Amino acid sequence: FGRRFARIADRHAQCRRVTAPWGESFDLDAVAAAITDETALVTMVHNETSTGLLNPVAGVGRFAREHDTLFAVDGVTSIGGDVFCIDDWGIDIAITDAQKALAAPPGISAVYVTDAAAALINGESAPFYEDLDWHLRKAEDNQTPFTSAVPLFRAMAAAVEAINREGLSARIRRHRRQATAFRKGFTAMGLSLFPEPTGATVRSNTVTAVSLPDRVREDPTAFFGAVEERNVSLSGGQAHLGGEIFRVSNMGRLDDAQILRGVRTVGEAMGDAGVPVSRADTEAGLAAAQRVLKQ
């Protein structure tokens, strides 16, 4: 999704990319070298769901501050599910969507903009419906420039109320515990996690990526079909990782029983697909996940 950020930027400005192979950590020294006093805006994705990695926003934010550069961060799959420190990380623009860790229906997004960033927005140069300056002015009166999708606003409000009832700190701890349970459960049954993060990059706490065994790579439809038959949803890999990994999410309001159901489903589906994951292996995975969830 960082690449998508760059593709958007290419349509409006000169864009310099700092890239890394999917599943690997990017080089913070290369990031520091790419940001200069001429840089107008730095963008990055906090939680990269295509690979199950959590990127070091704090470090990049420090580089942006050193050059008095605006910093925009995609927090779509982390806000509401993991720590996201706008002030401490020097974030000027934060973006999220309703349907991920906030657990609301899709169709509505939220953008946080600092006063410093807002002062530089030129709404007249933006597409008509994307005039952020206009949106900000109307927001002062709790309005939108155009007719609102009222049911979606009400659904977002209900989702935020649920977060407040649970408590954000408790919610973050739950996401981290459940993500750890997935990782421990899958590895205990003999599967391998996909990325091996190094440096400041760590594993995501809202989505887990797992390498598909060679047997499943030969015929991924058998495994994914077995999962679907059990009325459980998980995702394959994107782009060139299609047929190489699967990804499972614990975003939102999943309870521990649903996490265990996910572990069991993966173990049983692997067996159905011809992978040597026995019933005992699946039970070992469930036991490992349960130990984490009881903590």
Structure confidence by residue, pLDDT tens digits, 45-95: 999 999 999 999 999 999 999 999 999 999 999 999 999 999 999 999 999
Q: Which domain does 78 fall in, by range? A: 2-165
Mean pLDDT of 187-194: 97
Same domain for 250 and 234: yes
CATH of the domain at 61: 3.40.640.10
Per-residue burial over 140-161, b if 16 or more Cβ lie within 10 Å, else e, is eeeeebeeeeeeeeebbeebbe
Residue that is last in its domain, among 95, 130, 165: 165
Residue that is last in its domain, among 122, 137, 165: 165
Average pLDDT, the chain: 95
Same domain for 193 and 88: no
Per DSSP, what are the bridge partners of residue 113?
93
Q: Give the pLDDT confidence of 211-228 residue by residue, as tens digits.
A: 999 999 999 999 999 999
Count of domains forming the chain:
2
